[in-house]
Structure 1
Amino acid sequence: MLTDELVRRAAISYGVCVRPVLSRVTDTVTGESRTVPIPCGATRAAVCPSCAERARRLRMQQCREGWHLAAEPPVLEPSPDDAPEGDDGDQGDDDDGIDDARRVRSTRRREDVPDLPRLPISAHTVGRVFESPDGKTYRPSMFLTLTMPSYGRVTSEGVPADPASYDYRRAGLDAMHFPKLVDRFWQNLRRATGFNVQYFAAVEPQRRLAPHLHAAVRGAIPRALLRQVVAATYHQVWWPSCEFPVYSGNRLPVWDEKQGGYVDAGGWLLPTWDEALDDLDSDTDAEPVHVLRFGRQVDMQGILAGTPQADRAVGYLTKYLTKSISDPMGDDDYQPSPARRAHVDRLAAEVRWLPCSPTCANWLRYGTQPKNARPGLEPGRCTSKAHDRDHLGLGGRRVLVSRRWTGKTLTEHRADRAAVVRAALAEAGVEMDEHDQYSTTATGPDGRPRYVWEPVRFDRDADRPSYARIIGHAIDRRRRWREQYEQAKQATRPPPGDVSATAPASPEGNPPCPPT
């Protein structure tokens, strides 16, 4: 008898989602009803290895396609349904404002960082072409790695040699505000180079669990200038003090409906977020609560299109996208040591209680009402994923892509992969399954939607199909698609020595699923 675990392993080997979302679709014309599995779309291998690997390979295609462009890509218009990842704009002054809407501090740069050249930014995004003495031309790009500074000496396993002296608070704050530092770096780099630098970047944890950035950068930039920009990039956090908690345990502030805010045990109303910032503005000697900088370790490599080095860099850049932040090295058989578990526990405890944003409930611990305070807030229970053990402060996206990297959305890249399969099958004369037979846009004779979709509730639907049956059908379908695709590739493959025939391009890994 096939157990659910055996079926799950078979699904992973065929690239089938192991935890699909089930929907029941009913044909209003024939009255036929069937259960349809929809892939969960998870990006973590611990949740669904098949969907996570599919998402990683899609990112590999996106990275590879935009890295070495020789022509300007189209301008990607923002869409509410498929907005591009990352930041691609100018955030304004060199020194951050307390409140982006109306509070702006001095634009004077810090005295402890070097000045940067500031050039008008041109619109071009394609890198320069270089010519060698023998007449060959090259259009190199770059692979860049940025790291954070040290918080204390660590062992080869990535755990602190002396946990008591390791600066966990600074490590937690750096992780929480790391995306802002990265945004500032791209702004400074564009201003210093004078062109619209484009990038595909992945935020990953080092062995010591500090975040670092791998980035494919289009075009070549002088290494000395890159190091200068890294050294001159910083981000200041102008917040009320959050170094020492004022309330803890059972002494937490509570919501008072009459006063419209949170009060302490003595009935005193805590200062609002705006009042706390007003006090900060009035203090001429005030310092930012935290300042982020990159570490000294910077790696820069020149990359040429079509080389094995370029392929290796794409794979390395996306290598850990399916792993969690707290377990970047782990797999099913990995067992962390007690010292490493203690290191993760200590960092997770730190980020749980640190405020992650002006609206974070943790501000109540420090005697300040969060921005837009409302009833029900409780320190330690902020809903931001930055506080989760799996993220360890990194609440933003793991993949950052500039708006003019390829001029395509991720949905369009996914459609490109499916189009490759369709083209190969069509050229080989293989008839594809009718994948849009349950389309939500199909209408019946009365002009109303022909197919009605409704979710299957596992806790209520007694007639739901078994897990093995649903996944088994999906495996059979995927196996049939794979066989058809392999036959199509064999049929269209040029004979040995025939360079005139052109075989269809093959996507990496399993063929993508045509849309349902």
Structure 2
Amino acid sequence: MINPETTAEPIDQDQLTRAQKAMLALSNDVATQLAEDHGVCVRPLAMRRIDQSSGRVDVVPVPCGSTRDDQCRPCADKARRLRMVQCREGWHLEDEPISKPADPTGAQNDLMATRADLHAAYTDARTTGDEEACDEIRETVIEIDQELRALGVRGRLAPLDPGPQTVRRSTRRRQDAPNLPRRPVEDRTVGRVFGGKYRPSTFLTLTLDTYGRVDKHGAAIDPDSYDYRRAARDAIHFPKLLDRFWQNARRCVGWDVQYFGTVEPQKRGAPHFHAAIRGTIPRSELRAITAATYHQVWWPPHDEIVYSGDVLPRWDNRHKAFVDPETRAPLLTWDEATDPDTLTTPAHTVVFGPQVHVKGILGGTEEAGRHIGYLTKYLTKSVGQAAGLNDTATTRQREHARRLAAELAVTPCSPRCPIWLLYGIEPKGVRPGTVPGHCKGKAHKPEHLGIAGRRVLVSRKWSNKSLSDHRAERTAFVRQLLGRAGVKPAYAVDDGPFTWETTAPGDTDVPPRTVLLLHAINQRSRWRADYDAAVLATSDAPPDDRSATEGAAA
């Protein structure tokens, strides 16, 4: 019997049985595997490229840009390596990455002064009730704001109508929280130099507290005593706790601490945080900051569910609000439920666990590269996959994840979450179509385990570059290399400029997916050949570094 997987001889398919033909590789699978081998997106998007000078229209494949390897491995790997570059460039800097902002120009000052006069005129018009004048001032301010943006002014401009004031609560620390020293924050982000030549940085790992005993796979040994409610709430409010940590860290150490961090799940499903910190902070201070950091959730109490099953609040057109299904009385609004006069205790308080891992790292060492890889190791996997919830998960693991997901399903994730209706509270922004107890937020999806925010957290002064800036740098590197070598790319297009259009399903000019894959593979092969030729032609180019070609592919 012919085995199509092992034979290298030509196969006459007319002589094969139906079962033997079913074992042959599909052409689409072959194209997909070839695309992965060449680092080409396996889910390309068909886009129309229109040359504005000649009018020529081409349908070209554009990478999907996915960050999940179970969706598109080449795009996910490219995104992960870009994050590694971002982490490496900002971790061990010796000079400040942020330059002083430019001084305001005369034109900017004149427009801002005009805007100030309009603010005063708007206040007078609102006081006298002249709505026509208010409308004219609003239109003028919009035009001035557009001119200010065009002149290079950034930041939020003061609105004419500030809106309702946000409820401010006391920032006095809890009596049971350790005190921290508060120092003036210096305007610097780089770390200290030791011994005249060493400028180490820090690798930090923070975890949440324990909720009960777990086995080696992270599943609860005694699910009935495991505190799933606290685990769910801690996971949802974990990003706020991290914000508090960095605020405390900067106030305590006295300089503008910068970090590159990733949020990952532990086997038990609780999030933990790995961070590369520029500069060094003593271990004792980091442990003291961690112990003193907490986040209070000033939300209404949500311990007992009021409505469930078929007995749910209903929308009432007369009241324009949700009402009790029996008494028809309107539910408490969010503002009423969070009134500072009645809400005197927080609904939940999040704290870190006692485990704090701190390690000093020198830049340019093998250890630094290993920790960068560790930071970005699970970025291409979903939260559930990173926690080990795959096909090999044990029955106890699946039951543990199910009970955590069940608790997350009745835990509000924001002031606008429809789950508040189950507790007799009308959330913010409620509409007639809101379904009580059904929230589309990521926090309630079982595969996210309550981790709904960003997986990568980067401080603003880390490298003074966005991901787009890093992509542009890699593309510029390739172009400069080709220019020094005198290599004209085979894919270069001299015409342009171009405009782009999306395609719709059923468009007759869009080729099949396999054709798009083959076109992208051919394009990548030509790019690689041009890059290799340029590397051989220039002696100062790194012979084994081909990562920059991925930037050009983007």
Q: Under TM normalisation by the shorter chain, which class is it? A: 0.7 to 0.9
CA distance in 2, matches of 1:29, 1:63: 41
Matched ranges for 1:36-435 at <5 A:
36-74=60-98, 101-131=165-195, 137-266=197-326, 267-278=328-339, 281-283=340-342, 286-328=344-386, 335-434=392-491
Could you tell me which amino acid in structure 2 is paired with residue 104 of structure 1?
A: R
Could you tell me which of 14, 17, 21 is aligned with 2:45?
21
Give SS of 1:200's match: strand
CA distance in 1, matches of 2:350, 2:70: 31
Q: Is the 8 A contact 1:15 1:510 kept in 2?
A: no
Q: Is the 8 A contact 1:151 1:167 kept in 2?
A: yes
Q: Is the 8 A contact 1:424 1:504 kept in 2?
A: no
Could you tell me which amino acid in structure 1 is paired with residue 350 of structure 2?
A: L
Q: 1:139, CA displacement in angstroms? A: 0.5
Q: Which moved more, 1:479-488 or 1:248-257?
A: 479-488
Given the alignment of the two structures, is residue 486 of structure 1 paired with residue 546 of structure 2, yes or no? no
Could you tell me which amino acid in structure 2 is paired with residue 304 of structure 1?
A: L
CA distance in 2, matches of 1:314, 1:508: 19
Cα 1:75–1:41 change in 2 (3 A) is farther
Cα 1:188–1:513 change in 2 (3 A) is closer
Could you tell me which of 464, 484, 500 is aligned with 1:453?
500
Q: 1:330, CA displacement in angstroms? A: 5.5
Report the counterpart of residue 35 of structure 1 in structure 2.
59
Could you tell me which amino acid in structure 2 is paired with residue 306 of structure 1?
A: G
Unmatched runs of 5 consecutive residues or more in structure 2: 1-24, 102-162
Q: 1:364, CA displacement in angstroms? A: 0.4
Q: Is the 8 A contact 1:44 1:52 kept in 2?
A: yes
Q: 1:102, CA displacement in angstroms? A: 2.4
Q: 1:176, CA displacement in angstroms? A: 0.7
Could you tell me which amino acid in structure 1 is paired with residue 187 of structure 2?
A: A
TM-score, normalised via structure 2 length = 0.80
CA distance in 2, matches of 1:28, 1:306: 47
Q: 1:146, CA displacement in angstroms? A: 0.4
Report the counterpart of residue 550 of structure 2 in structure 1.
512
CA distance in 1, matches of 2:262, 2:324: 43
CA distance in 1, matches of 2:534, 2:403: 54
Q: 1:72, CA displacement in angstroms? A: 0.5
Could you tell me which amino acid in structure 2 is paired with residue 259 of structure 1?
A: H
Q: Which moved more, 1:154-163 or 1:117-126?
A: 154-163
Cα deviation digits, residues 397-424 of structure 1 (max 9, x gap): 1111111111112111111122222222
Could you tell me which amino acid in structure 2 is paired with residue 59 of structure 1?
A: R
Q: 1:235, CA displacement in angstroms? A: 0.3
Cα 1:268–1:329 change in 2 (3 A) is closer
Could you tell me which amino acid in structure 2 is paired with residue 422 of structure 1?
A: R
Q: Which moved more, 1:301-310 or 1:483-492?
A: 483-492
Cα 1:452–1:114 change in 2 (3 A) is closer
Number of residue pairs matched by the alignment: 468
Cα deviation digits, residues 479-498 of structure 1 (max 9, x gap): 221232233223334xxxxx
Q: 1:288, CA displacement in angstroms? A: 1.1
Could you tell me which amino acid in structure 1 is paired with residue 74 of structure 2?
A: S
Could you tell me which amino acid in structure 2 is paired with residue 163 of structure 1?
A: P
Cα 1:472–1:258 change in 2 (3 A) is same
Cα deviation digits, residues 138-177 of structure 1 (max 9, x gap): 1010000001111111111111112222211111111111
CA distance in 2, matches of 1:390, 1:10: 30
Which has the higher Rg, Structure 1 or Structure 2? 2
Q: Is the 8 A contact 2:217 2:267 kept in 1?
A: yes
Q: Is the 8 A contact 1:420 1:506 kept in 2?
A: no
- The alignment yields a C-alpha RMSD, in angstroms, of 2.4
CA distance in 2, matches of 1:59, 1:124: 24
Q: Is the 8 A contact 2:474 2:552 kept in 1?
A: no
Cα 1:23–1:476 change in 2 (3 A) is same
Q: Is the 8 A contact 1:124 1:196 kept in 2?
A: yes
CA distance in 2, matches of 1:311, 1:400: 19
Give SS of 1:511's match: helix
Q: 1:510, CA displacement in angstroms? A: 6.7
Give SS of 1:421's match: helix
Q: 1:509, CA displacement in angstroms? A: 4.0
Once the two structures are aligned, what percentage of the paired residues are identical?
Answer: 51
CA distance in 2, matches of 1:393, 1:306: 36
Q: Which moved more, 1:398-407 or 1:103-112?
A: 103-112
Cα 1:237–1:256 change in 2 (3 A) is same
Q: Is the 8 A contact 2:536 2:543 kept in 1?
A: no
Cα deviation digits, residues 354-373 of structure 1 (max 9, x gap): 11010111100110000122
Q: 1:76, CA displacement in angstroms? A: 9.7
Give SS of 2:385's match: coil
Give SS of 1:400's match: strand
Cα 1:437–1:176 change in 2 (3 A) is farther
Could you tell me which amino acid in structure 2 is paired with residue 36 of structure 1?
A: V
Q: Which moved more, 1:350-359 or 1:478-487?
A: 478-487
Q: 1:462, CA displacement in angstroms? A: 4.2
Give SS of 2:238's match: helix
Cα deviation digits, residues 448-475 of structure 1 (max 9, x gap): xxx55332222x2244311111111101
Q: 1:329, CA displacement in angstroms? A: 5.5
CA distance in 2, matches of 1:457, 1:105: 51
Cα 1:435–1:194 change in 2 (3 A) is farther
Unmatched runs of 5 consecutive residues or more in structure 1: 78-98, 443-450, 494-501
Cα 1:187–1:216 change in 2 (3 A) is same
Could you tell me which amino acid in structure 2 is paired with residue 5 of structure 1?
A: D
CA distance in 2, matches of 1:105, 1:503: 58
Q: Is the 8 A contact 1:421 1:512 kept in 2?
A: no
Given the alignment of the two structures, is residue 11 of structure 1 paired with residue 39 of structure 2, yes or no? no
CA distance in 1, matches of 2:550, 2:211: 43
Q: 1:428, CA displacement in angstroms? A: 2.5
CA distance in 1, matches of 2:279, 2:366: 18
Give SS of 2:447's match: coil
